[in-house]
């Protein structure tokens, strides 16, 4: 053992020397954990508050208003919209603008005063059961808490049964089955992870092996090289998508799109998302000096894709600054598209913003990758 100590030291010193040479790797080893800790530490909240809600009130009495203010007082939801019709409310929920929709019927006040069974309807978007649970927690306390003071004022006895009840609808996923949310989400994560990493290696590998010199001495232009390199991976991405969807249906009974329009919307989202990921990988590969760096950068991209996209935690439960970061990440938009198409019967019109965001991402990232591609070795 004594004899091997100098040799261990030799190898150890050599590793440190090489680590020091590789500045970027070194920087990433130090900077990555700090950034991740700061971002995710502050962004992730297991008990999301201020979830967006909409109230459709057919009853304009003070009693109904008290219910709404009691709802807001819980801190779990913010009433952001006051739709005028059932259709408007329905669209807000379907497009994911609110997690909770409250409908107060016209005879609410009358029934409460008469002591009849008054009801309000709470519809939660249960495509993400975790987020829906947060919103419904706020609703569950309403019957006992909402009208406490009013009842005293109206001379109603304090101890009787709650003056109204809440009818809860868990829409899009009535049984709150986690796979309905996780499995479509996994499609986004799997596509990102494999496609970004695979293409990130693509150019870096050519440079590392020296084949880039041959490629550049041919008449092929940067656009030709990029399109030629990425197209096979589009096929890989499509095969992955089919495999995941078949398994989602077969093993987890995840609902599929029910109309041709739904499938079309989904297909648009998938193609844009695949191309976006490939472009990002390509951009990484033009920046990274080695395959190791390309790998690190891909990993660096994956963590926010999991934590800030709405995959692991409800997107609407993130603090506003984290949602801004999340909006930049393609997975965020893809999750809305895939969950929308599979669970919420969304069509193209419902996902315009997310498709647009993905399209812009593709243009910006592919443009940057091309701008960084050279026809020379300078």
- Applying CB under 8 A, which part among 10-18, 211-219, 275-283, 351-359 lies near another protein? 211-219
The answer to whether residue 218 forms part of the interface with another protein (CB under 8 A) is yes
Nearer residue to another protein within complex by CB, 86 or 213 = 213
How many of the other CB atoms lie within 10 Å of CB of 330?
Answer: 28
The answer to whether residue 371 forms part of the interface with another protein (CB under 8 A) is no
Helix (H) or strand (E) holding 198: helix 178-209
Q: Coil, strand or helix: which one is 53?
A: strand
The answer to whether residue 10 forms part of the interface with another protein (CB under 8 A) is no
The answer to whether residue 353 forms part of the interface with another protein (CB under 8 A) is no
- Applying CB under 8 A, which part among 27-35, 206-214, 304-312, 317-325 lies near another protein? 206-214
Cβ 212 to another protein shortest distance, Å:
8
Cβ 206 to another protein shortest distance, Å:
9
- Applying CB under 8 A, which part among 17-25, 31-39, 46-54, 214-222 lies near another protein? 214-222
d(CA 163, CA 235): 59
Pick the binder of another protein from 47, 87, 175, 378 (CB under 8 A): 378
Residue with tokens 């693509």: 202
Nearer residue to another protein within complex by CB, 47 or 378 = 378
The answer to whether residue 15 forms part of the interface with another protein (CB under 8 A) is no
Q: Is 137 left (phi over 0), alpha (psi -120 to 50) or beta?
A: alpha
Q: Is the Cβ–Cβ distance between 348 and 269 less than 8 Å?
A: no
Q: Coil, strand or helix: which one is 122?
A: strand
- Applying CB under 8 A, which part among 122-130, 204-212, 264-272, 310-318 lies near another protein? 204-212
The answer to whether residue 370 forms part of the interface with another protein (CB under 8 A) is no
How many of the other CB atoms lie within 10 Å of CB of 237?
Answer: 24
d(CA 358, CA 97): 18
Helix (H) or strand (E) holding 289: none
**CA 35 to mean position of chain CA atoms:** 20
Number of helices followed by number of strands (H, E) in the chain: 16, 5
Cβ 221 to another protein shortest distance, Å:
8
Pick the binder of another protein from 3, 155, 210, 320 (CB under 8 A): 210
The answer to whether residue 213 forms part of the interface with another protein (CB under 8 A) is yes
Nearer residue to another protein within complex by CB, 82 or 220 = 220
Q: How many residues form the binding site for another protein (CB under 8 A)?
A: 16
**Distance separating the N- and C-terminal Cα atoms of the chain:** 50
Pick the binder of another protein from 216, 238, 264, 302 (CB under 8 A): 216
DSSP of 314-362: -GGGS-HHHHHHHHHSHHHHHHHHHHHHHHS---GGGGHHHHHHHHHHH
The answer to whether residue 231 forms part of the interface with another protein (CB under 8 A) is no
Cβ 173 to another protein shortest distance, Å:
46
Beta-ladder partners of 54:
81, 101
Residue with tokens 């006051």: 82
Binding footprint of another protein on the chain (CB under 8 A): 209-220, 375-378
């Amino acid at each position: 053992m004594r004899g091997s100590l100098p040799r261990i030291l030799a190898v150890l010193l050599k590793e440190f020397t090489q680590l020091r040479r590789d500045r970027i790797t070194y920087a990433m080893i130090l900077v990555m954990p700090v950034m991740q800790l700061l971002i995710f530490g502050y962004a992730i909240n297991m008990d999301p508050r201020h979830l967006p809600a909409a109230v459709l009130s057919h009853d304009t009495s003070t009693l109904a208003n008290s219910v709404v203010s009691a709802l807001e007082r819980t801190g779990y939801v913010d009433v952001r919209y006051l739709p005028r019709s059932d259709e408007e409310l329905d669209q807000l929920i379907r497009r994911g603008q609110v997690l909770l929709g409250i409908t107060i019927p016209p005879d609410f006040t009358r029934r409460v005063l008469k002591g009849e069974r008054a009801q309000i309807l709470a519809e939660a978007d249960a495509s993400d059961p975790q987020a829906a649970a947060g919103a419904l927690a706020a609703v569950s306390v309403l019957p006992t808490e909402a009208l406490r003071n009013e009842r005293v004022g109206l001379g109603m006895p304090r101890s009787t049964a709650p003056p109204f009840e809440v009818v809860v609808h868990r829409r899009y996923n009535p049984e709150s089955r986690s796979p309905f949310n996780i499995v479509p989400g996994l499609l986004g994560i799997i596509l990102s992870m494999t496609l970004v990493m695979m293409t990130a290696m693509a150019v870096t590998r050519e440079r590392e092996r020296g084949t880039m010199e041959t490629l550049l001495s041919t008449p092929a232009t940067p656009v030709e090289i990029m399109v030629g390199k990425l197209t096979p991976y589009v096929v890989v991405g499509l095969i992955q998508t089919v495999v995941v969807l078949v398994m989602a249906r077969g093993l987890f009974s995840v609902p599929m799109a029910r109309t041709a329009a739904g499938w079309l919307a989904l297909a648009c989202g998938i193609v844009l998302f695949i191309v976006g990921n490939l472009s990002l990988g390509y951009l990484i590969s033009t920046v990274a000096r080695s395959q190791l760096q390309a790998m690190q950068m891909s990993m660096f991209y994956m963590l926010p894709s999991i934590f800030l996209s709405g995959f692991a935690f409800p997107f609407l439960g993130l603090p506003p600054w984290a949602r801004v970061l999340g909006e930049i990440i393609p997975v965020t938009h893809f999750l809305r598209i895939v969950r929308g198409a599979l669970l919420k019967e969304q069509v193209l019109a419902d996902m315009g913003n997310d498709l647009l965001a993905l399209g812009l991402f593709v243009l910006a990232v592919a443009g940057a990758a091309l701008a960084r591609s050279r026809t020379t070795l300078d």
